[in-house]
Chains A and B, each alone.
Chain A
């Protein structure tokens, strides 16, 4: 029996989950596009060609051109880099900060009261609204978008981590660790943190999807990644006025946003089923925004 348990590779468990597999099929090409954007894009996404503006789809311009004659395909391809970078960094930062605050909050009762009230305070604002506020205060810069979204999303990670810590710290093996003389820090890092990774990873995946949506929403409103950088939200924003005559300006980046968010959510759902089956019915939906 023991050898069977070993032969059953954990990798197969992931691939057998349909949600996770579908999500990966959607997301993998997108990541490849994002990484190899300069090689894939036929032209410079910023290169203006006033003569060839508002070209429809053609062999030369698969997604047409925009009001400045820029190649929409190249812009969408480079947009993948920006959107995934911003989303990925947000996910990473929220995970790191969220883990620290969440661990402290779940473990130390006195800190908990203060931290959680502060987090509740942050959470009462609708995401996009506080995002607009923060961006207006911080100024337009790609890093500021990441910063603003990190501030917005961290409370959710904190809540997830804290909840897990509250549950895990009552486990017998945490008691056992204390009895062998382990310090609080050791107990937190070695015994509690690894056991709350499952819900954390799931939530971070949803955070990634959420960040892509919010970034697009902010860019659409002109408060996200500053133009002329071709983030998907910016492309849609630019094409807004010409939707009747040049719908391709909005359709393709829109499809990319939908696909990226769908893929990440599927992966998140899949991971949740694989890593933490108890959470099956407590889906945490990223709130929908403009797009």
Chain B
């Protein structure tokens, strides 16, 4: 790769490896993940539960939960290698340059403090020069910005007094508190919300992204959310990225068998009075303790060939600029598609 490759992207994660040291053995939960996010774009990260999406988010912040450890890799944020920062400098990055929004707005706010107080805490951590009054004004301004009505009163509310959608707005306000985060990691931000609220929150993301020119790493398992918000998509499976494509191409010309399976698993309305059976991907995620020297999707793949896929892990192939696939049977799949 080119020497100053990392300067072209806001976030550039290279060959990230996170291992979990458990009693039953070392689990390679992230196994050499490459990921990059451009300035101002939304990268959707999709995959099923347990494939490492959330771990990826935490690893970028260097907050891997026990007994996990980042074993290898580089994480560049605007050219700064986060892996080389000492912990106290890393703390300055969290919440200021990289913010994160969690899945569960019900539990991600501390029940003993008012929402205003919690927004002000972000400023206490990162903008120690601000006076209490400035912080309060800023917090109210933020509440207004994320669309909370009568922010002056809501400032004094406790989380339990707000609905799920409102709490998620508060969490987003906290993420924006420092002014202009370069990267916002949203970990399934709408999964716990009902559909109308979900649309509002996604709209809010779009609005603040336009306004602040920040990048969003949107983690989700909902392809509908991806279709609506993402510019590019990374599909993750069992600790690796299996396909990169921009969002239109992913929905039209996905190549990896796993992505194809995911796309087929979207709920369809009944057609001609017949309910179609929901497509599922057969089999289960492989045991991460035992995946050496073959494709991770091997056991569940309809295109798998013992001599090709069962011998070694396929390499990432760039089928077109910006469309990368980790599959050794691309020709077969393309052939199959053109026939259909």
Contacts and interface: CB of A to CB of B under 8 A. Distances in A.
Interface residues of A, number: 20
Given A2-B157, A5-B161, A172-B102, A182 B109 contact: no
A257 B314 CA distance: 78
Interface stretch (B39-47, B118-126, B260-268): B118-126
B140 interface: no
Interface string B261-297: 0000000000000000000000000000000000000
B149 to A, nearest CB: 13
A183 B161 contact: no
Counting contact residues on chain B (CB < 8 A from A), the size range is: 20 to 34
Contacts of A171: 107
A186 interface: yes
A195 B95 contact: no
Given A180-B95, A181-B95, A181-B96, A191 B110 contact: yes
Interface string B85-109: 0001001111110011010100111
A177 B126 CA distance: 12
Contacts of A195: 110-112
B125 A186 contact: yes
Contacts of A5: 161
Contacts, number: 66
B155 to A, nearest CB: 13
Interface string A176-213: 11111111001000110011000000000000000000
A176 B121 CA distance: 12
Given A2-B161, A175-B102, A181 B108 contact: no
A5 B171 CA distance: 23
B108 A172 contact: yes
Nearest to B100: A179
A252 to B, nearest CB: 44
A171 B111 CA distance: 11
Nearest to A192: B110
A173 interface: yes
A183 B126 CA distance: 11
Interface string B44-67: 000000000000000001010010
Contacts of A182: 91, 95, 121, 125
B108 to A, nearest CB: 4
B238 interface: no
A181 B91 contact: yes
Contacts of A186: 125
Contacts of A176: 100, 102, 108-110, 171, 174
Contacts of B177: 180
A180 B110 contact: no
A175 to B, nearest CB: 7
A171 B108 CA distance: 8
Contacts of B111: 173, 195
A79 B126 CA distance: 54
Contact of B94 (A173, A179, A190): A179
A183 B87 CA distance: 10
B125 A173 contact: no
Contacts of A109: 66
Interface of B: 61, 63, 66, 88, 91-96, 99-100, 102, 104, 107-112, 121-122, 125-126, 157, 161, 171, 174, 177
14 contacts: A2-B157, A172-B102, A172-B104, A175-B63, A176-B108, A177-B121, A179-B94, A179-B95, A180-B177, A181-B95, A181-B122, A191-B110, A195-B111, A195-B112
